[in-house]
């Protein structure tokens, strides 16, 4: 088991393990699974039905390095010994009963383009750059935005259902429509409701529409039709936001597959399952990782 990425996050802060001056944010976290890490430990038969099973409810600790809105700013995730772990690889995807973990990269009503650094050790959250300058959206994003851990959009896979578009080489994105503003690095329990097949410069970039279980309306929405009923206009607003956000930079509007409409929950769950399988093959090294960090 030494090669496996198996760890437990304890119910206590790890301040004693941190360097002087480091800051902590401790918050309720989702369950941790014992199925991550070196997929060499998984048989081919098990890989086909790869899923993480939760074992208990720990806490999550994040550590900020550098200052926000600077090139060296990073938000790392720590285990109970103070060791850095990956929010992409080491946080389980599934919690059971149709509930999933969602790692927040960009809080709603903010514009700094934060993202998990897939090419850096332990995949910290950082602000994206272009030509050495920090990137911002031209206007605030109106929903909490981030990723589903243990998912990956395979750039060698052409999706015949979405114009043969290839995956964008990133984890699957989530747009969380609840009323509360989350924090960078926060992990929310969400249930998927719909999926938008965005095509960004020829690459397939799925957007899973979801809601936090803590939201007051969470019990009312369980599929795409419920979103329109209880959050009228939201699905159209999400599609239009992602269609148009690059236009101020002189780029063309993004396109969408599947008839330019959001697919239902069943389809969203299929996307999640398929991209979880792709991630499992990636960490098993059945697919070349390129510059991606699997640590």
CATH code, domain carrying 175: 3.90.80.10
Task: Give the chain's domain count.
Answer: 1
- What 8-state DSSP symbol labels residue 270? H
Catalytic residue among 136, 137, 245, 267: 137
| Mean pLDDT across 211-240 | 98
Question: Residue 60 — pLDDT band, cuts 50, 70, 90?
Answer: low
- Which is nearest to 210 in space by CA: 274, 262, 254, 137? 262
**Is residue 10, in this structure, part of any structural domain at all?**
no
| Mean pLDDT across 265-285 | 98
Using DSSP, state whether 40 is helix, strand or coil: helix
Q: Are 282 and 290 in contact (CB under 8 A)?
A: no
Using DSSP, state whether 3 is helix, strand or coil: coil
CA angle 47/56/271 to nearest 5° reads: 40
**Is residue 293, in this structure, part of any structural domain at all?**
no
Is 267 annotated in the active site?
A: no
**Is residue 215, in this structure, part of any structural domain at all?**
yes
- Which is nearest to 215 in space by CA: 80, 78, 108, 55? 108
More confident position, 53 or 133: 133
Residue identified by tokens 């920090």 is: 134
> For 70-113, what is each residue's pLDDT tens digit?
999 999 999 888 999 999 999 999 999 999 999 999 999 999 99
**Is residue 14, in this structure, part of any structural domain at all?**
no
Q: Are 73 and 64 in contact (CB under 8 A)?
A: yes
State which residues form the domain around 176.
Answer: 21-283
- 117: tokens are 């650094």
- 265: tokens are 């929950």
Q: Average model confidence (pLDDT) for the chain?
A: 85
| Mean pLDDT across 133-157 | 98
**Is residue 12, in this structure, part of any structural domain at all?**
no
**Is residue 133, in this structure, part of any structural domain at all?**
yes
Beta strands in the chain (DSSP E): 23-28, 59-65, 74-78, 84-85, 94-96, 99-106, 110-112, 114-116, 125-127, 129-130, 133-134, 136-141, 144-147, 158-159, 165-167, 173-176, 187-200, 203-212, 255-256
Q: What is the pTM of this model?
A: 0.82
**Is residue 288, in this structure, part of any structural domain at all?**
no
- What 8-state DSSP symbol labels residue 39? G
- What 8-state DSSP symbol labels residue 295? -
**Is residue 30, in this structure, part of any structural domain at all?**
yes
């Amino acid at each position: 088991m030494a090669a496996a990425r198996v760890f437990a996050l304890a119910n206590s802060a790890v301040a004693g393990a941190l360097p002087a001056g480091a800051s902590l944010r401790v918050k309720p976290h989702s369950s941790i699974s014992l199925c991550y890490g070196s997929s060499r430990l998984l048989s081919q038969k098990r890989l086909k039905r790869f899923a993480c099973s939760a074992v208990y409810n720990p806490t999550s600790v994040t550590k900020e390095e550098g200052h926000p809105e600077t090139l060296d700013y990073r938000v790392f995730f720590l285990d109970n010994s103070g060791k850095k772990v990956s929010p992409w690889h080491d946080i389980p995807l599934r919690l059971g009963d149709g509930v999933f973990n969602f790692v927040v990269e960009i809080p709603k009503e903010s514009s700094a383009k934060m993202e998990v650094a897939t090419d850096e050790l332990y995949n910290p959250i950082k602000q994206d750059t272009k030509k050495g300058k920090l990137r911002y959206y031209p206007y605030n994003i109106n929903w909490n935005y981030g990723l589903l851990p243990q998912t990956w959009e395979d750039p060698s896979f052409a999706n015949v259902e979405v114009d043969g578009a290839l995956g964008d080489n990133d984890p699957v994105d989530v747009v969380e429509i609840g009323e509360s503003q989350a924090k960078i690095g926060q992990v929310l329990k969400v249930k998927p409701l719909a999926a938008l097949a965005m095509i960004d410069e020829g690459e397939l970039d799925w957007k899973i529409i979801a809601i936090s279980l803590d939201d007051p309306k969470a019990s009312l929405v369980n599929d795409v039709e419920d979103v329109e009923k209880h959050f009228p206009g939201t699905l159209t607003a999400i599609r239009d936001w992602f269609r148009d956000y690059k236009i101020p930079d002189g780029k063309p509007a993004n396109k969408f597959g599947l008839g330019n409409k959001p697919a239902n929950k069943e389809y969203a769950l299929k996307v999640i399952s398929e991209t979880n399988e792709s991630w499992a093959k990636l960490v098993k090294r059945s697919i070349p990782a390129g510059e991606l960090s699997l640590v």
